[in-house]
Amino acid sequence: MAIKVLLQTTITPAANDWSIARFSLLAALLRQQRDASGRPLFDVTTRDRDAIGTPDALLSKLERSDYDQLWLFAVDVGNGLCFEDRRGIEAFRERGGGVLVARDHMDLGCSVCDLAGIGAAHHFHTRNIDPTAPQVRDDPFTMAISWPNFHSGANGDYQQIEAVEPVHPVLRDPSAPDGSIRFLPSHPHEGAVSAPPAARARVIARGTSKATGVRFNIAVAFEADGRAGAAIAQSTFHHFADYNWDPRMGAPSFVDEPPGDGMLRHPEALAATHRYARNVALWLAGVSTT
């Protein structure tokens, strides 16, 4: 039976924002995956939330659904999850559901802070501030965006990442020279994630700022624990957005940084990104990534 995946944003449908329509290449990639018998690996649903300020019809009752995993793209300005939504997501993970939560710079997506467990992995400008990191701007080009905002490169380009030893199953790539994923899409201002001290979690991938040389965390993996499902905290949803996989897909009008074309010119970077997305979906489902 195919693994049921929900790709969901924390905003209502909006043509000029990071709504779920801007993650169409990810959805298509997962739908194309097949098992050894040629059957679809994933059954993918894509949706935005149905309203702001009231419980989402699906998230608030997610534990009662038949989904196996949730990829939550926190693209809101702080109002993207209600109390009932958070409780629904927490109950979903408690009954074994896998969860990926991806945010972005500064306070973008800070509605995830109060999610039990995984919320503590996400640090923002005014919420859950990282006490171990300097409160300084990393991206020196887009002055309207303050810390945390690690500059891994232009949208449409790629960054070389470090798979933290021991290499996590999500980072394995048998086709790569060293057996691990080396590239992901870059973004001018990634957010901040860390492994909460009391959690069964660890940093599995790091990047390096092209502006300052500072190393920053890209992904934190929470292992399945008892009945609780596995989870991943991702530094930016741009690792999965259409615009970052193919800048010809376009971006909302408020994005004014000039894009690159490295992902188009270097197919190995896109292949590594595809491998990462596939690995995440398999690992969240408790399935081998090799």
DSSP letters of 200-234? SEEEEEEEE-TTT--EEEEEEEEPPBTTBPPEEEE
> CA 170 from chain center: how many Å?
13
pLDDT tens-digit map of 218-258: 999 999 988 899 999 999 999 999 999 999 999 999 999 99
Phi and psi (nearest 5°) for 266? -125, 90
Domain boundaries, the chain: 3-284
CB atoms within 10 A of CB 93: 26
**The overall pTM is greater than 0.95:** yes
pLDDT at residue 290 is higher than 90: no
Query: Residues 2-31: pLDDT tens digits?
Result: 999 999 999 999 999 999 999 999 999 999
Domain 3-284 in this protein, CATH class: alpha beta
Sheet with 98-102, side-by-side order of all strands: 42-47, 3-9, 69-73, 98-102, 231-234, 215-222, 201-208, 162-163
Q: What one-character DSSP code corresponds to residue 258? A: P
CA 276 to chain centre: 11
For the chain, what's the residue count?
290
pLDDT score, position 226? 87
